[in-house]
Structure 1
Amino acid sequence: MLIPITREKFEQLIPLIATGPQYAYFWGKLPMVLKRLLISVVALVVIFLLGLAFGEGFYFFRLLFSIIAGLYWFWGPIYWASRRNLEIRRYKYSGFWRGRVLDVFVTDEIVGTEETVSNRGELVIVENRERRLNVEVGDETGFTTIMQGPLRRTHKGIAEGQVVEMLILSNQPDLGRIAKTSDIYIPRLNIWVSDYPYLQRVIFAQVSSQLSEAEERDYPDNRAVINRRRRR
């Protein structure tokens, strides 16, 4: 099932400013926080040196830039998440998609590398690997795609045949060519699978519920079928 949604609803689902989960995604682990702190410190030193070079006339700008640079460790995740949201909001059309899980499998993926020095003084590149969940989904039209995300304990119940929902994006009014997909939602388990949390998940769940209720009203004879789908 594919139902076009309005631009207004789309902008509610994918806001311009970073949400809490999106901020947490870009906040990252300790190495990322330390990297932002280092950038802030280096920027403050550069601004200080420029202030010495330009004298008192640079005081106001030095103060302003110092505040901005000094807090980069804090506002950096907001900037990067909002930029990512802006990239996906450039698509002109969107739709609510419902299909089924076709396959579920786990892979080990390289998520980053680190440089370290061995006991013999040699430079060693260490690969950071992470177990990732892969969920292949599709519908009766033949459309299929694979969503990948970090493996969580809550994903244990995902199985073939379960109903899945997501937002699809396109630059064509009829949504004939899908350019991008969002994180996927499994109503029966009330869980999500994604790498980056694009959607306002509470609003998306409300849209899902509203569309299901509308389907029941329009096709009352299919109510039992719809209820069975939800239980799968």
Structure 2
Amino acid sequence: MLVPLTREKFDELLPSMATGEQYRHYWGKLSDFLRRLLISVVAGVGVFIARLVLGEAFDPLTFTAGTIAGLYWLWSPVWQANRRNRWARRNSYSGFWRGRVLDVFVTDEVVSTEETVNNRGELVIVEDRERYLNLELGDKTGFRTPIQTVLKRDHRLIRRGDIAEMLVLSNREDLSRINMISDVYIPDHKLWVGDYPYLRRDTFLEVRQKLLPGRSAYRRPRPVEEPMYDYDDDYSIGRQ
């Protein structure tokens, strides 16, 4: 199912300015905050040195630059989210898409590597690995798209055959070529899946209710014992 949406509705669903969810996404972990704080400190020191070199005549300029640099740790997530939103909004057309989860599995990905030396003086490469949820979504028209995100405990509820809904973006009015997709809503479990919260989720839920009146029976029955996905014991969600 694919329903074209107006540009006005598209603008409501995908804002140009960062939302609270998007700000929290780019706020990141403690390590991300400390990295931004370090950049703020270094930049602040650089502005202070520049003020000493340039003299009092440039005080208004150095004060402004110092304020911006000193608060980098605070405004950087907003800037990153706004930039990502603008990139998505370059698409001219959008549509509400509803299909199903065709496949679901977990992969173990290397997110970073670090070189260190062990007790014997040997160079060792340490890999930082993280488990990711992978979904393949599709519909009866033959449209298929993958989505990947960091694995969370709630993801264990997702099954093959679950309904999936999202916003699809295109530069073609007939949506015949999809350039990108938003985060995905799984109504069977009231879960959101995606690497970035593009959508105003309350607005998206209002849109789906208007487009799908009386379709609560759309869910396909399935055996309760059906596993979430095929995985080895090493990929068990409960294992840390």
- With the length of structure 1 as denominator, give the TM-score of the two structures: 0.90
1:30 corresponds to 2:30? yes
Amino acid at match of 2:44: L
Q: By percentage of residues, which structure has more helix?
A: 1
Q: Is the 8 A contact 1:115 1:123 kept in 2?
A: yes
Partner in structure 2 of residue 222 of structure 1: none
Matched, 1:227 2:184: no
Cα displacement (A) at 1:123: 6.0
In the other structure, the counterpart of 2:153 is 153
Q: CA, structure 1 residues 122+57, in 2 after alignment: closer, same or farther (shift >3 Å)?
A: farther
Residue 142 of structure 1 corresponds to which residue in structure 2?
Answer: 142
Query: What is the Cα deviation at residue 64 of structure 1?
Result: 1.0
Q: Once the two structures are aligned, what percentage of the paired residues are identical?
A: 57
Amino acid paired to 1:18: A
Q: Establish whether residue 175 from structure 1 lines up as the match of residue 175 from structure 2.
A: yes
Cα distance between partner residues in 2 of 1:145 and 1:202: 24
- The answer to whether 1:208 aligns with 2:208 is yes
Superposition pairs of residues 2-151 of structure 1, within 5 angstroms: 2-119=2-119, 124-151=124-151
Q: 1:7 to 1:133 in 2, by over 3 A?
A: same
Cα distance in structure 2, aligned partners of 1:67 and 1:135: 44
Cα gap change, 1:30/1:116 in structure 2, threshold over 3 Å: closer, same or farther? farther
C-alpha contact 2:161 2:220 (8 A) present in aligned 1? no
Distance 1:69 1:56 in 2: 19
Distance verdict in 2 for CA 1:194–1:32, change over 3 Å:
same
Contact 1:187 1:230 survives alignment (8 Å):
no
Give, as a single letter, the amino acid of the residue that structure 2 aligns with 1:227: S
Corresponding residue SS for 2:55: helix
Q: Which moved more, 1:67-76 or 1:121-130?
A: 121-130
After superposition, what is the alpha-carbon deviation per residue over 1:73-130, rounded to whole angstroms, capped at 9, x for unaligned? 1111111111011100100111000001101101111223345454466665432211
Shift in alpha-carbon separation, 1:140–1:189, aligned structure 2, 3 A: same
Equivalent-residue separation in structure 2 for 1:172 and 1:184 (angstroms): 21
C-alpha distance after superposition, 1:166-222 (max 9, x if no partner): 000111110000110111111121101111111111111111111012xx5xxxxxx
Output the CA distance in 2 between the equivalents of 1:2 and 1:200. 19
Q: Which amino acid aligns with 1:77?
A: P
Compared CA separation, residues 58 and 180, structure 1 to 2 (3 A): same
| Cα distance in 1, alignment partners of residues 53 and 220 from structure 2 | 69
Q: Which moved more, 1:136-145 or 1:104-113?
A: 104-113
Structure 2, unaligned runs of 5 or more: 222-240
Aligned length: 221
Q: Please, which runs of 5 or more residues in structure 1 have no aligned partner? A: 217-225
Q: Closer, same or farther in 2 for the Cα pair 1:4/1:134, shift >3 Å?
A: same
Aligned letter for 2:161?
Answer: G
Paired AA for residue 8 in structure 1 = E
TM-score, structure 2 length as denominator? 0.87
Deviates more, 1:63-72 or 1:111-120: 111-120
**Corresponding residue of 2:187:** 187
